[in-house]
Structure 1
Amino acid sequence: MRFHTFLPTLGSGTGNFQVVGVPKGSGLGTSSILSGACVKAIFEFFGQEVSDDDLYDIVLCMEQTMSTGGGWQDQVGGVTPGIKFITTKPGIDQKIQVEHVELESETLQELEERFALIYTGQRRLARNLLRDVVGNYIGSRRESLEALAEMEKTAVLMKFELQCGNIDGFAELLNTHWELSKQLDKGSTNTCIDQIFVSIEDLIDGRFISGAGGGGFLQVIMKKGVTRQMLSRRLHEVFQDSGVDVWETRFI
């Protein structure tokens, strides 16, 4: 899914530009998205067209060169608008297939109303976590292989539930995905993240993490009737001024 985050403004720019405060180690894929924007800008500067597929590949190479450990999912999610179902087959030469998931207006509105993005106040570097995940996969760790196989099925079911307009079913699968992520890598969660989820247990139906986990942002599907303001008040009651809070978002 692609959503826009209304971030705290650090300073005003000129024209159509604005400086915003995206925390380092946010889990929002900002390194890949920024790389994608730079690639796009360079091609436009020289008056050349660049296809989405070529852009994905160039950013993937940039991520590996910079040793940030990124794949292709962040630039696909950030550059291509809307809610997407993204697939590719195994192999070095990745052929990415992007399928736009069209939702009924009522479904999208409910998703907008019930979705919330929570900052944990913690920063982390994805490359350290990704090395563990890749290492476990290459080492044929049984729990990792089983989790990856189940994640593939879960993603298909999540797409189905959204297309059916079943946000509750989607939230359940989000919980399943979260459990699989922890099975894939124990570093995807920590005491702080667990405490945040426990503190809002009665307000949410679904929970997940942005990016590789271990900090950054959390994603939740709130129960019907719960608002972001209610969620924010609860977090402030428990975590005070630690930085844990709800950030404004909308799907684009």
Structure 2
Amino acid sequence: MLIRSRVPLRISFGGGGTDVSPYCERRGGVVMNATIDRYATVSLSPLVDKTIEIESIDYDAALKYDVDQFLAYDGHLDLIKGVVNFMRKAYNVSHGFRLRIHNDAPPGSGLGSSSAVCVAVVGAFRHWLNLPMTPYEVAEMAYQIERHELGIKGGRQDQYAAAFGGFNFIEFNGTKTIVNPLRLRNDVVCELNHRLILAYVGGSHDSSKILSSQIKDMASGNEETLKSLDRAKELAIAMKAALLTDNLDDFGLLLDEAWESKKRFTAGITTPKIDAIYEKAKSAGALGGKVSGAGGGGFMFFFAKPDKRYAITKALQDEGVQTVNYSFTDMGLYSWEVR
């Protein structure tokens, strides 16, 4: 038997950062995001012998352990090891197995790829062990593994986006999370897909480093950080209203304001290169846009005026920026068997 588990990556439109502690416990956070047809995929094969094999297709890396051996965290595929250690302890897994992992985007891309892998691995174990876990429980388990088992700094939106899929307005109140799916008209989704240009600006970001700085600023009561996060939350609420009422130009302008607010969260979110690319896109007809993720690099997206998509695409390509074809997807975590 072979089990496959797949989850989508996500674009974060607004509110990112308000899902990070201690802000969400103290003031409540909201995030507006959507998943796209880029995926993290995990294949799990039970083995007859007492070994654990982990293989990353993307990193061309392979590890092998005894089934009763603790998988030490040493910087090599630690995210996968964290899930394995957690699941074996929680569910007394004594069988051998092989895990193969592939991701359509690398860590640091800004598309929530690391958390997507974590959710996909949890999903593979859920299927194999026949665990009665809801998408909420899968997402929360992945969050606990990343933040507490491994000590990786970050928020909560990526795990929930991957587990649920689709356009979601997600509320974070302390440790309670509520996912509100947005039932958008097909016309709106198709037009949004056409006018939103996804682009890889190069490099990657160290989200843990950026978020550690943001967390420090929040905890110390930095007024500019708190005001910017409060404003990001307001803008996410306004973005939801704009999409539900078919006001796409308003949505694009809100993205521009959200990016200006995000840059004030903490240092390292933008760079001179990112600023230059953003201004070039706006000069070519973008209403707004932002980095998708903590910042510093990876993927950005730009919202075009109705007739400016191709001018913006050319301007970005002239800057050496790679644009990426994509579509939105409503499917979250899904697993199946191959026999």
Instruction: Specify which structure has the higher proportion of strand.
Output: 2
The alpha-carbon deviation at position 18 of structure 1 amounts to 9.6
Q: Read off the aligned partner of 1:165 and give its amino acid letter.
A: D
The 10-residue stretch of structure 1 (55-64 or 161-170) with the greater mean CA deviation from structure 2: 55-64
3-state secondary structure, aligned to 1:26? coil
1:160-199 alignment runs, 5 A limit:
160-199=241-280
TM-score (norm. length: structure 2)? 0.66
3-state secondary structure, aligned to 2:258? helix
CA distance in 1: counterparts of 2:106 and 2:273, whole angstroms: 17
Alignment root-mean-square deviation, CA: 2.0
The alpha-carbon deviation at position 21 of structure 1 amounts to 4.7
Preserved contact between residue 35 and residue 161 of structure 2 (Cα < 8 Å): no
Q: 1:232 aligns with which of 310, 313, 325?
A: 313
CA distance in 2: counterparts of 1:176 and 1:68, whole angstroms: 29
Preserved contact between residue 38 and residue 105 of structure 2 (Cα < 8 Å): no
Which residue is equivalent to 2:161? Answer: 77
Q: 1:138 aligns with which of 198, 219, 222?
A: 219
CA distance in 1: counterparts of 2:226 and 2:313, whole angstroms: 37
Percent sequence identity is: 27
CA distance in 1: counterparts of 2:238 and 2:103, whole angstroms: 35
Structure 1 consecutive aligned stretches of length 4 or more whose deviation exceeds 6 Å: none
Which residue is equivalent to 2:295? Answer: 213
1:250 matched to 2:324? The reply is no
1:93-104 alignment runs, 5 A limit:
94-104=175-185
Which residue is equivalent to 2:112? Answer: 29
Q: Read off the aligned partner of 1:220 and give its amino acid letter.
A: F
3-state secondary structure, aligned to 1:99? strand
3-state secondary structure, aligned to 1:113? helix
User: What is the aligned residue count?
Assistant: 237
CA distance in 1: counterparts of 2:101 and 2:230, whole angstroms: 41
Q: 1:3 aligns with which of 30, 35, 41?
A: 35
Question: Could you say which structure has the larger radius of gyration?
Answer: 2
CA distance in 2: counterparts of 1:233 and 1:67, whole angstroms: 41
Q: Read off the aligned partner of 2:35 and give its amino acid letter.
A: F
Preserved contact between residue 3 and residue 249 of structure 1 (Cα < 8 Å): no
Post-superposition Cα deviations, 1:175-194, rounded to whole Å, max 9, x if no partner, equal 11111111112311001101
Structure 1: state its 5+ residue gaps.
12-16
Preserved contact between residue 28 and residue 217 of structure 1 (Cα < 8 Å): yes
Post-superposition Cα deviations, 1:27-69, rounded to whole Å, max 9, x if no partner, equal 1111111100100110110112211221122111111222331
